[in-house]
Amino acid sequence: MNDSFYKHPNAIVESSRIGRGTKIWAFSHVLEGAVIGDNCNIGEGCFIENDVVIGSNVVVKNNISIWDGITIENNVFLGPNVVLTNDFLPRAKKPFTPGRTLIKYGASIGANATIICGITIGEYAMVGAGSVVTKDVPSYSLVYGNPARFISWICACTNKLDFNDETECVCGRKYKKVNDNTIRQI
């Protein structure tokens, strides 16, 4: 990490652990303990707490708060106004331990989706706009709704996958079904 990142004059960046090529736009606030990787784009009006790790090549669109206990791996997309939580039983002025949330490599979360704390969103998973995610989302799956429900398996390229045991996407990637809840790229 180094100081060769862009900070809009109206942004507050207290962390010294911001990666090369990252851009942090106006009215965003990054606290001292946050870690942000290379080539990220942090949109306007975002807030990033201390116990947060954001990988490289992550897009955080406008008006998103990323609270303590959240880890975002590389190449993740967070649409505008995504809501991330970190308290299972919120009350004013009560001590709590943040719930841990993991958003894995390549996942995409649509605008205005709400992610309840303590879950994992799998690799290349896609969460539809406006969804409320209350449980883990398998890798390579499309979920949406309130509460979010499994809709289909999808390729890393976002094409829908139809198969019983193995399949090849039109893009050339091949997948194998491990069980009813898991597929993997082969």
Confidence at residue 3, expressed as pLDDT on a 0 to 100 scale:
61
What is the Cα–Cα distance from 22 to 147, expressed in whole angstroms? 34
Confidence at residue 56, expressed as pLDDT on a 0 to 100 scale:
98
Confidence at residue 76, expressed as pLDDT on a 0 to 100 scale:
99
Contact between residue 178 and residue 184 where contact means Cβ atoms under 8 Å apart? yes
Of 70, 137, 72, nearest in space to 98 by CA:
70
Confidence at residue 171, expressed as pLDDT on a 0 to 100 scale:
96
Confidence at residue 102, expressed as pLDDT on a 0 to 100 scale:
98
Residues contacting residue 122 through CB under 8 Å, at least 6 positions apart = 104, 107, 136, 137, 138, 139, 140, 141
Confidence at residue 124, expressed as pLDDT on a 0 to 100 scale:
98
Confidence at residue 180, expressed as pLDDT on a 0 to 100 scale:
85
Confidence at residue 160, expressed as pLDDT on a 0 to 100 scale:
95
User: Does residue 41 sit in helix, strand or coil?
Assistant: strand
Confidence at residue 163, expressed as pLDDT on a 0 to 100 scale:
78
Of 122, 82, 75, nearest in space to 103 by CA:
122
What is the Cα–Cα distance from 86 to 5, expressed in whole angstroms? 28
Q: Which domains does the chain have, with CATH numbers?
A: 6-160 (2.160.10.10)
| Sheet with 132-133: strands ordered across | 83-84, 114-115, 132-133
pLDDT < 50 stretches in the chain = 1
